[in-house]
Amino acid sequence: MKKLIESAGLDDIQQKVLAGERLSLADGLRLYQSSDILAVGWLANLVRERLNGNKAYFIYNQHINYSNICTNLCKFCAFGRKQDDDFAYEMSIEEVKEKVRQRLDEPIVEIHMVGGIHPNLPFSYYTEVLRGIKEVRPEVHIQAFTCVEIAHLASLCEKSVGTTLEILREAGLDSMPGGGAEVFSSRIRERTCADKLPGEDWIEVAKTAHRHGFRTNATMLYGHIETYEERLEHLDALRQAQDETGGFLAFIPLAFHPKNTDLSALSSTTGMDDLRNIAVARLMLDNFAHVKAYWVMIGPKLAQIALSFGADDLDGTVKEEVITHMAGAETDQAIGSETLIRMITESGRVPVERTTLYDVLEVHDSSQRVES
């Protein structure tokens, strides 16, 4: 291994990793620029195993997208629609409840719910939808509304973000997903999502949520027009916010899917960039406990390999993904928990079925199972 790291010219970075020292943005740039994926991945795996041992997590979850109507219409998004578009939809509270009811026979522990920035759904819709889900499935954890949606809801109800979050908590909100972060750089936002909440405001909403006792996730949508430097600035902003609040649960890199978007002339990400991005994120985000390899976006096979390149979580069963599939994802829209367990076991890790907050529900370790 010494030779591998030496020949990649990364010995000084290895020293820092071994000493648990924070990597600089210049270190991050060298890691991104290295074509020695084994060396970068090996370093990331050191951190991954230090934090999570041999465990690889997954969750039994369900995604619900209550509406695709959106005023932001970001250039990278194939999901959002104008209100008068033929493919625009918004679910009634009853339709959302029906989605939850349809899967009552499955051991779903988390509902992940996000939607577009709708121009005229009233604030009461959002509280009622939370209450409706809890009526049908009282024990489920609702991870809903990105920081972008929360900022919109705060302006809808004309209250501070903190007060809005308290009202939503009372209605059933348990935590927030990491979407809508994209790339924080104003250059990227101007060119791809000019109408969206600015990067600094996304971080402020996340930090406010943390201060009100919510745990939230963080994402980065990579592989379009951003530079490595802009990725690193994004990671650094998350790292600083995490230093302040400690409220982020996991980081999820989101691989850009170009089909049906205004950026459809761009190519999809490659396996090397997907793996390297996970590894660099693992190394830079030293204060994040978990990095997900989201199988929907990078495919189950690469996600499995990513468990040896920094990732410790495959996210979940998802049941049923829409946002990436509108943009041409070729993966399935859901995956069985037994498939996730097999993927993890065959990668040499121990499958741990978790709650949203990473409490352990079951360790699916076949070596420890007593055959009857």
291: contact with ligand V47 by CB under 6 A = no
Do 245 and 211 meet the contact criterion of CB atoms below 8 Å apart?
A: yes
What phi, psi does 315 have (nearest 5°)? 65, -120
The footprint of ligand V47 on residues 14-73 (CB under 6 A) is none
Query: Which residue's CB is nearer to ligand V47, number 154 or number 206?
Result: 206
CB of 366 to ligand V47, least distance (A): 27
Closest CB to ligand V47: residue number: 179
CB of 146 to ligand V47, least distance (A): 6
CA 210 – CA 247 distance, rounded (Å): 5
The footprint of ligand V47 on residues 299-318 (CB under 6 A) is 315
Query: Which residue's CB is nearer to ligand V47, number 157 or number 266?
Result: 266
331: contact with ligand V47 by CB under 6 A = no
205: contact with ligand V47 by CB under 6 A = no
Of 27-35, 227-235, 239-247, 323-331, the segment contacting ligand V47 by CB under 6 A is 323-331
Interface with ligand V47 (CB under 6 A), residue from 179, 199, 299, 310: 179
- Say which residues have a Cβ less than 8 Å from residue 345's Cβ, sequence separation at least 6: 351, 364, 366
CA 42 – CA 279 distance, rounded (Å): 9
CB of 361 to ligand V47, least distance (A): 17
Number of CB atoms found within 10 A of residue 163's CB: 13
Interface with ligand V47 (CB under 6 A), residue from 78, 133, 142, 156: 78
Q: Which two tokens stand for residue 124?
A: 């009461």
Using CB under 6 A as the binding criterion, the count of chain residues that bind ligand V47 stands at: 22
CA 35 – CA 31 distance, rounded (Å): 8
Of 11-19, 171-179, 197-205, 334-342, the segment contacting ligand V47 by CB under 6 A is 171-179
CA 224 – CA 258 distance, rounded (Å): 8
CB of 78 to ligand V47, least distance (A): 6
CB of 280 to ligand V47, least distance (A): 18
Interface with ligand V47 (CB under 6 A), residue from 324, 331, 341, 353: 324
Of 18-26, 103-111, 162-170, 175-183, the segment contacting ligand V47 by CB under 6 A is 175-183
CA 63 – CA 86 distance, rounded (Å): 23
254: contact with ligand V47 by CB under 6 A = yes
Query: Which residue's CB is nearer to ligand V47, number 23 or number 108?
Result: 108
Query: Which residue's CB is nearer to ligand V47, number 76 or number 214?
Result: 76
Number of CB atoms found within 10 A of residue 360's CB: 11
Query: Which residue's CB is nearer to ligand V47, number 8 or number 69?
Result: 69
323: contact with ligand V47 by CB under 6 A = yes
Length of the chain: 372
Interface with ligand V47 (CB under 6 A), residue from 34, 219, 242, 337: 219
Number of CB atoms found within 10 A of residue 259's CB: 15
CA 112 – CA 319 distance, rounded (Å): 10
145: contact with ligand V47 by CB under 6 A = no
Binding residues for ligand V47, rule: CB under 6 A, are: 76-78, 146, 177-180, 182, 217, 219, 221, 252, 254, 256-257, 261, 294, 315, 323-324, 327
